[in-house]
Structure 1
Amino acid sequence: MTTPLHVLVTGATGRTGAIVVQKLQQRPEQFVARGFARSEAKVKELFGTTEGVYLGDIGDPDRLKAALEGCDALVILTSAVPQMKAPPEPGQQPEFVYAEGGTPEQVDYQGQLNQIGAARAVGVKHIVLVGSMGGTNEQHPLNRMANGNILIWKRKAEAYLIGSGIDYTIIRAGGLQDQPGGQRELIVGKDDALLANPPDGVPTSIPRADVAEVVVQALIAPNARNKAFDVISKPAGTPGAVVTTDFAALFEETTPGL
């Protein structure tokens, strides 16, 4: 009988983070899940209890170390979130801003470096980082949003993780959908090639639940380690598509390095 992996999920109250926590909790023979989040009220709303969840900020390395003590793996699901300034006037484009202390540089770069540093300090062996496709394009619309360069900062943090000496899995998801998982064929790629030339015109999107399953599978699949890849899905019901269930085979299609 194998010993369950102790895993900390940061961003545990986010829409994807909460699914990852729930999936880990559903497999107690494989995982002991911990969460890390800022809002006690949101934790209680989502999970019904704060048991197993550390409250804190990713800007606090000591709190991160306390949450990570005894963990085998860390899943990073934190991200800066742009906010609309005000409803736009008819015919005008909406304007966005990042909250004070919540810019991409602070959250997606320094916040991730804090998490990686804390994980290294306590001996975590594997970090799964969930990012976004588009980081090779400085002109991507998400980079221009509130002049935050969010995908560029994410990419810099990914490079730091690769150089950290800790085993990594970097999952760059396409556009996230609130749709059921386990119903689609997943496609992996590299360096935004899927954005530039999606196969057969497949939309460059993926359900959050499928991303969460890729995270869970990456924690236990040896051939997911030290890999970085983009991932999208074929639409449910696509003729000829084969629903992805063999994740070891999927990870065989991925490669090391940024």
Structure 2
Amino acid sequence: MNDTVGGGVVGVMASASSLSSTLLLQNSLNFPSHNQRKPFDSSSFLFSAEKGPLFVCSAKKKVSFVDQILDYIEGGPKLRKWYGAPDLLPKDGATEEDEDEYIGDEVRDAVLVTDGDSEMGQMVILSLIVKRTRVKALVKDKKVALEAFGSYVESMAGDTSDGRFLKKAFRGVRTVICPNEGFLSSVGSLRGVQHVILLSQLSVYRGRSGIQSLMKSNAKKLAEQDESALANSGIPYTIIRAGLLQDTPGGKQGFTFEEGCAGRGSLSKEDAALVCVEAVDCVPQSAFMFEVVNGENKVSDWKECLVGLMEKANQKLQ
């Protein structure tokens, strides 16, 4: 690899360290597509109906510079297959629902993202992929999700009120991330899950008045029910009370964690996804809740930051 290519690869590797840089790479690299695919979601940042897929690779062509970057980042052929998504189903045509019941124990090393086809869900999933985490996701359309995420995400579609489906969804899962309200209050059991992370907008909803309060009354009710369900679950949980979520680039600002800030400030959606993913490795003994908005404080060590916030929360309870 020549100096120019090598330098580009190193630059992309540095960019892959954050979600914001990943999105910046997407916006700056736009290659023509020979296989235009259906967009994953109208709000999806993974695919664009106008611009087409982020990376397009052809087995008939010589390995391109982009393919060399992918080789360097994630082992080449796997990631090229991911973005191309050539196989939507197993070779025998069987679907996941046709498989026999799981037999035996499985290591719980996966993170399950609810609402995986929502904008926030997709952002959380991408942040987890960047950290090379085993990801499962609840989606509405599994085939469309497979086109978007490929084999790097185990996408599951089903009725969350069905205990059998939930048992299958939670198989191998240690942490559940809920990027939107409504899931926790609708499920009967989280058996086997070791940590639940909820991105809550409850502080924002409570701070609204007049017609805005009426418009968000249902969302407020769901958020309250979700937080109540967690409190009664007996499972260690983290509630991230975020400020008003906005479509602004992440990684550009710092953070503030002061009490009451969520009702007054705002938070980039990309930064909110980052905070959710960073909370995965900081499991509380029981309950942990903190507020966060964009601010002036830069965070260089998220584990240290979250542990510090957890200690302060525990001191207030004593």
TM-score of the alignment, normalized to the shorter chain, above 0.5: yes
Partner SS, residue 196 of structure 2 = strand
* 2:121 corresponds to: 17
Residue 46 and residue 141 in structure 1: after superposition, are their counterparts in 2 closer, same or farther (change >3 A)? farther
* 1:35 corresponds to: 137
Structure 1 residue runs without a partner (length 5+): 80-107, 199-203, 235-240
Greater share of strand: 1
> How far apart in 2 are the matches of 1:216 and 1:49?
20
* 1:118 corresponds to: 189
Residue correspondence of structure 1 range 145-160 to structure 2 within 5 A: 145=215, 148-160=217-229
Residue correspondence of structure 1 range 1-258 to structure 2 within 5 A: 5-28=109-132, 31-40=133-142, 42-44=144-146, 46-47=148-149, 52-79=154-181, 108=182, 111-115=183-187, 117-120=188-191, 123-132=192-201, 133-137=203-207, 139=209, 142-145=212-215, 148-190=217-259, 193-194=260-261, 198=264, 204-222=265-283, 226-234=287-295, 241-251=296-306, 252-254=308-310, 255=313
Q: Deviations over 1:118-157 (max 9, x none)?
A: 322xx11100011102354584755411x74321331232
Q: Tell me the matched-pair count.
A: 206
Alpha-carbon shift at residue 57 of structure 1 (Å): 3.6
Residue 141 and residue 175 in structure 1: after superposition, are their counterparts in 2 closer, same or farther (change >3 A)? farther
Alpha-carbon shift at residue 195 of structure 1 (Å): 5.2
- Following TM superposition, where does structure 1 have runs of at least 4 consecutive aligned residues deviating by more than 6 angstroms? none
Alpha-carbon shift at residue 71 of structure 1 (Å): 0.8
- Max Rg structure: 2
Give TM-score scaled by structure 2 length: 0.56
Letter in 1 for 2:204: G
Structure 2 residue runs without a partner (length 5+): 1-106
Residue 141 and residue 5 in structure 1: after superposition, are their counterparts in 2 closer, same or farther (change >3 A)? farther
Partner SS, residue 18 of structure 1 = helix
Give TM-score scaled by structure 1 length: 0.68
Residue 224 and residue 38 in structure 1: after superposition, are their counterparts in 2 closer, same or farther (change >3 A)? farther
> How far apart in 2 are the matches of 1:68 and 1:223?
20
> How far apart in 1 are the matches of 2:175 and 2:150?
24
